[in-house]
Amino acid sequence: TKHQVTMIAGDGIGPEISAAVARIIAAAGVEIAWEEVEAGAGVMAKYDTPLPESVFASIRKNKVALKGPITTPVGSGFRSVNVAIRKELNLYANVRPLQVHAHQFARAEDIDLVVFRENTEGLYAGIEHYVGDQAAESIKIITRKASRQIVEKAFAYAVSEGRTRVTAVHKANILKYSDGLFLEEARQVAAKYQQSNPEIKFDERIVDNMCMQLVQYPGQYDVLVMPNLYGDIISDLGAGLIGGLGLAPGMNLGDEIAVFEAVHGSAPDIAGQNKANPVALLFSAVLMLRHLGEKTAADSIEKAASKVLNKGEVLTADLGGTASTDQITKAIIAEL
């Protein structure tokens, strides 16, 4: 079957890594009709906005998108183009699976975590103001609905993937109302799943302790679910545990739409130099292929990339090597 998928190449290293990923997917024999749409700082002059309506139209039609990183231009009216996409399409779950594919770069062999980050509210609601010129306030929004939705998503995933532990991460000891409400909803969802799926254990961690535990005992944790800001921070911590931003994939899920993107940004410092590591976006595309039902191709791409990483002969600079984007792409295709 031929899949129709929206492709947003994005800014900075985006065009280089998305071209690399499209080549690898084609080499794996998956037929995708990419519908390419433009967004980001690079198209400001052309459309007078970094986020033309055509982007939403395409994603709403195809329901699946692969997205490169986007730089938010100053003066565009957007706090973040990436956050705007997630909000507009109600992609309320940002999911970041952290597995060890490159053993020499991992902090522990047994890391196999999935971070569920609430994606639409919390401290990223974008409500800020100055109070006179000596203070500023940023409002953190936590709703029962969004909290319930993200915890539901995490449990449903745990059930479908055969996982056995869901940990809610919070700071309800201090933020008694906002995080308290998140935790109440988490406990209610957990109680419901205790009836239907008693094999899944539920527990809670305060976010600062969670950071320490993840560094000391990363192998003990499984599915983690948390409000927006904690998810942003913990998922980068997790990326560090498995070998860095060049390896960490992600997806943004709503009820019907899924947008797949790496954790990293547009890396302006190395853009256009054929130096970027395409593997984080490639692993995001592997998640996308599984979502599309292309399990065999997803597995073989994952295996081929892991082989190249573990051989260690063809690595990009972020992993201590000297290979170009092109060279690692060719090496992965050769393994396929």
Give catalytic residue positions. 124, 171, 208, 232
Q: How far is the CB of 270 from ligand NAI (least distance, A)?
A: 5
**Residue 329 interacting with ligand NAI (CB under 6 A):** no
Structural contact between residues 166 and 207, judged by C-beta atoms closer than 8 angstroms: no
**50 contributes a contact to ligand NAI by CB under 6 A:** no
Q: Give the span between the Cα atoms of 212 and 221, in whole angstroms.
A: 12
Residue 294 touching Mg ion (CB under 5 A): no
Amino acid 93 reads A
Between 58 and 228, whose beta carbon lies closer to Mg ion?
Answer: 228
Question: Phi and psi at residue 219, in whole multiples of 5°?
Answer: -70, -15
CA distances from 296 to 25, 301, 303, 307, 331 (A): 12, 9, 11, 17, 20
* Binding pattern for the stretch 191-230 against Mg ion, x by CB under 5 A and - elsewhere: ----------------------------------------
* Number of residues lying near ligand NAI (CB under 6 A): 21
The residue within the footprint of ligand NAI, chosen from 125, 156, 175, 245 (CB under 6 A), is 245
Q: Should residue 86 be labelled a site residue for ligand NAI when binding is judged by CB under 6 A? A: no
Position with the least CB separation from ligand NAI: 265
Q: Quote the least distance from Cβ 11 to ligand NAI, whole Å.
A: 7
Task: Check the CA dihedral 172-178-183-188 and report its sign.
Answer: positive
In angstroms, give the least distance from the CB of 13 to ligand NAI.
Answer: 6
Question: Rounded to the nearest 5 degrees, what angle is found at the Cα of 201, between the Cα atoms of 199 and 207?
Answer: 160
Least distance from C-beta 96 to ligand NAI, angstroms?
11
Tell me which of ligand NAI, Mg ion, none is bound by residue 64, counting a contact when its beta carbon lies within the kind-specific cut-off of 5 to 8 angstroms. none
For ligand NAI, which residue of 167, 178, 235, 266 counts as binding (CB under 6 A)? 266
Closer residue to ligand NAI (CB): 166 or 282? 282
* From candidates 276, 297, 328, 331, binder to ligand NAI by CB under 6 A: 276
Count of residues that bind Mg ion according to CB under 5 A: 1
Of 254, 232, 250, 226, which Cα lies nearest the Cα of 90?
Answer: 254
The Cα 2–Cα 30 span in angstroms is: 8
Query: Is residue 70 involved in binding ligand NAI (CB under 6 A)?
Result: yes
What distances in angstroms separate CA 15 from CA 7, 36, 39, 242, 278, one per listed residue? Answer: 10, 11, 11, 25, 10
Question: How many angstroms separate the CA atoms of 292 and 287, rounded?
Answer: 9
Q: 94 vs 306, which CB is nearer to Mg ion?
A: 94
Q: Which is nearer to ligand NAI, 83 or 206 (CB)?
A: 83
Looking up tokens 């994606």, which residue turns up? 119
Residues 6 or more apart whose Cβ sits within 8 Å of residue 296: none
69 binds, among ligand NAI, Mg ion, none (CB under 5 to 8 A by kind): ligand NAI
Distance of CA 255 to the CA centre of its chain: 16
Binding site partner of 232, from ligand NAI, Mg ion, none, Cβ cut-off 5-8 A by kind: Mg ion
State how far the Cα of 110 lies from the Cα of 96, in Å rounded to an integer.
17
Beta strand pairing call for 93-99 and 112-118: antiparallel
Stretch 182-221: interaction string toward ligand NAI, x if CB under 6 A: ----------------------------------------
Q: Is 232 in the site for Mg ion (CB under 5 A)?
A: yes
If binding is defined by CB under 6 A, does position 280 make contact with ligand NAI? yes
Binding residues for Mg ion, rule: CB under 5 A, are 232
Binding site for ligand NAI (CB under 6 A): 13, 69-72, 82, 245-246, 261, 264-270, 276-277, 280, 316, 318
